[in-house]
Amino acid sequence: MVEDPGHRKLIVATLLEVHPVTPQTRLIDQAVRVLRAGGVIAYPTDTTYALGAAIGEKAALDRICRIRRIDNRHDFTLMCRDLSQTGQFARYTTPGYRLIKAHTPGPYTFLVRASREVPRRLQHPKKKTIGLRVPDHAIAQALLEAHGEPLLTTTLRLPGDEFALNDPREIRDRLDHEIEIVIDGGIASLDPTSVIDLTGDEAMVVREGLGDVSAFR
């Protein structure tokens, strides 16, 4: 942290170069400490880079909304470690569960009805839904394992940009003073997840992204 001339505390984003296949434990632990202290990080997934925060940190959620210029009508996502963890936060049908089981981990976000475990401020205010995702990426999985609970997450696409940011150094340059840590796991994809709505009687493809959606049609 540094101080500006007005004596306000300013965030200085730290770039952590983390191995994309065998993440260094000490660097993952450093990022987790920031999350638990209410910070916001940028991290790579099996699709794009994402913004992440601890699910109980309202100030971090507010900061993510300000960075992305989104409000509570946005479909937020919980990044989960595995299928069993998704079950704590979702109320889905047996067919919905089977679809999630068959496609995780992978580049999919599933919109489901939120369970009581999901903080109200993270749910869609009218639909009472939440996005769930299990990433197939070593760094994201290492973060989730060390943190011990899901991460509130959203694609790192800034206002006015057509695509998500995929270069960690550009992310650091553009979000310096906005987030605490950028995890450099290399250049990521520009393609987002495929979004599948499982809240109805049949699965519905909301967005076709990196994941194959043929099974949901």
For residue 21, give its domain range: 2-216
What DSSP assignment string belongs to 60-109? HHHHHHHHHT--TTS--EEE-SSHHHHTTTEE--HHHHHHHHHT-SSSEE
How confident is the model at residue 93, as a pLDDT?
85
The two three-digit tokens of residue 23, written as one number: 């993440």
Q: Please name which of 189, 177, 149 lies closest in space to residue 10, comparing C-alpha atoms.
A: 177
How confident is the model at residue 117, as a pLDDT?
93
Asked if 186 contacts 100 with a C-beta cutoff of 8 angstroms, the reply is no
How confident is the model at residue 73, as a pLDDT?
86
Number of domains the chain contains: 1
Q: What is the mean pLDDT of each run of 10 residues along the chain (217 residues)?
A: 48 96 98 98 98 96 96 92 94 90 97 94 92 98 97 96 96 96 97 95 94 92
pTM recorded for the entire structure = 0.93
Q: How many Å apart are CA 162 and CA 179, to the nearest integer?
A: 21
CATH of the domain at 61: 3.90.870.10
How confident is the model at residue 119, as a pLDDT?
92
